[in-house]
Every structure is written in structure tokens, then in C-alpha cells.
Amino acid sequence: GVSRSFGVSLAEKFVAEGANLIIIARSGDELRAVANNLREKYNSSQSVTAIQCDISITRDVDALFHGHL
């Protein structure tokens, strides 16, 4: 997920390049912290949307793609 070092690095790279992001992770608290940090650090008009989701759970993935999370 995005709340770990590799995911955070990728998210930072995309935001720095001007991308809008939807980031996901299992941990809601860590996920929200990452999203807030990206918004503050880059102070950009890009959208950073954080969605708590465990991609190892089929039900969570289905809900993610069907807009129920």
C-alpha cells in the first residue's frame, strides 16, 4: 500500500509531476497521514484521494471498484 516507504516514494513522484492520485492502504490512520503530508508538502491543486482498502480481501477490492468504500 501507499503507507509504506516504496508506496510513499511513488506517490510523491507522481504528485511532484502534477498527477492526481487515488491512494489506498490497509491502515486508515497511516493512509490519511500520507495523503495530508502529500497535500501539504506539494501544496498543489492536484487531487489526492485516500481510500482505506485491503487488496487481499476480494470484498474490499470489489467495493473499491464499485465505489462503495
Mind listing the pLDDT tens digit for each residue in 17-65? 999 999 999 988 999 999 999 999 887 677 999 999 999 999 999 999 8
Residue 13 has pLDDT above 80, yes or no: yes
pLDDT, tens digit (0-9, with 9 covering 90-100), for 30-39: 999 999 999 9
pTM recorded for the entire structure: 0.78
Please tell me what DSSP assigns to residue 57. Answer: S
Q: Is residue 2 very low, low, confident or very high in pLDDT (cuts 50, 70, 90)? A: low
In this structure, are residues 36 and 11 in contact, taking their beta carbons and an 8 Å threshold?
no
* 62, three cell numbers: 470489489
How far lies 49's CA from each of 14, 43, 63, in Å? 13, 14, 16
